[in-house]
């Protein structure tokens, strides 16, 4: 317990040093956890100012069991981030960290499961996007174009003309596996692009339900003993530093993504489809 209190003290000092303010902080003895309330952070970027506000953060330690090897849980309530080019909100972020999840066959390798409740992202224009959104979009487009389709129950598309033209798409039970042994799965997806007739601008809205981004076990031979997990641990740490997202599984019951100003020529999907068509033409003709 003394070690836990010392860790809390050092963490609080570190947060204050990097510019994170906390309105209230308390320690709970049983079960051992620390709770931060009214967390605020603001930083200056080259393109403007970014601010983060969190109603409360709860970090709790657990005793791992073989049937449920959880050693730490993290919950952030009402997470909101405002940047120069986007506005992000999540009602709650729940993270669970595992110990030796691959050995205990609890995950396909990731050390943490992250749940995003009521995830909402608003991007002001498709011309300027945060880096992590661009990376996620690129990975998703690559998976759509070159991944393995495990399941696709229904796909509907439509084009409607009026004062503005509208393209809509609806997908049910869509599962794709990419080259990294990651499976994108969702129960339902509705997307809609609205565009006026006078210029190349419009609005894009996408609503996805029961979204999962899950790592599956690879066919590589990896020792399943505790000794082998200890041998692999240093290399896993190195990989985590280079690609932390590779060690996380993500689930969101509902995700709403909106682009206020969306240009067709900024669409990565159209660019990649064009490149793919050109590659196939050069290969076969």
Q: How far from 31 is each of 27, 34, 191, CA to CA, in Å?
A: 10, 10, 44
Residues 6+ apart with CB under 8 A from 143: 176, 177, 178, 182, 184
Query: Which tokens sit at 110?
Result: 């990731």
Average pLDDT on 121-149 reads 80
113 has a pLDDT exceeding 50? yes
User: With bands split at pLDDT 50, 70 and 90, how would you rate the model's confidence at 3?
Assistant: low
pLDDT at position 280 is: 46
DSSP 201: -
Report which of 52, 31, 32, 54 is spatially closest to residue 42, judged by C-alpha positions: 52
Alpha-carbon dihedral angle through residues 170, 172, 178, 181, given to the nearest 10 degrees = 150
Residue 95's beta-bridge partner residues? 74, 114
- Quote the radius of gyration of the chain (alpha carbons, Å): 22
- What would the pLDDT profile of 93-102 be if each residue is shown by its tens digit? 999 998 877 7
CB count within 10 Å of CB 36 equals 22
Ramachandran angles phi, psi of 140, nearest 5°:
-65, -40
pLDDT at position 96 is: 93
65 has a pLDDT exceeding 60? yes
Contact 114, 75 (CB under 8 A): no
CB count within 10 Å of CB 10 equals 10
- What would the pLDDT profile of 153-174 be if each residue is shown by its tens digit? 888 888 888 777 888 888 899 9
Q: How far from 168 is each of 124, 143, 202, 209, CA to CA, in Å?
A: 20, 21, 13, 16
281 has a pLDDT exceeding 50? no
């Amino acid at each position: 317990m003394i070690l836990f209190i010392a860790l809390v003290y050092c963490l609080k000092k570190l947060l204050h040093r990097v510019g994170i303010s906390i309105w209230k902080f308390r320690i709970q003895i049983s079960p051992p956890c620390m709770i931060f309330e009214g967390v605020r952070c603001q930083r200056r970027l080259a393109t403007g100012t970014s601010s983060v506000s969190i109603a409360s953060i709860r970090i709790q330690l657990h005793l791992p069991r073989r049937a449920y090897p959880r050693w730490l849980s993290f919950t952030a309530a009402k997470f909101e981030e405002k940047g120069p080019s986007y506005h992000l909100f999540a009602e709650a972020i729940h993270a669970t960290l595992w110990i030796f999840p691959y050995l205990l066959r609890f995950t396909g390798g990731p050390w943490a499961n992250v749940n995003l409740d009521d995830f909402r992202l608003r991007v002001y224009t498709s011309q300027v996007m945060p880096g992590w959104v661009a990376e996620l979009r690129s990975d998703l487009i690559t998976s759509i174009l070159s991944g393995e389709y495990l399941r696709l129950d229904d796909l509907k598309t439509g084009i409607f003309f009026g004062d503005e033209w509208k393209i809509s798409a609806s997908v049910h039970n869509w599962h794709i596996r990419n080259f990294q042994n990651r499976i994108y799965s969702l129960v339902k997806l509705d997307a809609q692009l609205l565009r006026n007739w006078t210029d190349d601008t419009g609005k894009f809205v996408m609503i996805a339900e029961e979204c999962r981004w899950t790592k599956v076990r690879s066919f590589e031979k990896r020792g399943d003993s505790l000794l082998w997990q200890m041998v692999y641990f240093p290399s896993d740490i190195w990989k985590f530093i280079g690609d932390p997202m590779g060690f996380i599984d993500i689930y969101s019951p509902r995700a709403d993504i909106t682009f206020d100003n969306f240009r067709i020529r900024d669409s990565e999907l159209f660019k990649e489809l064009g490149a793919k068509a050109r590659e196939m033409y050069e290969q076969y003709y």
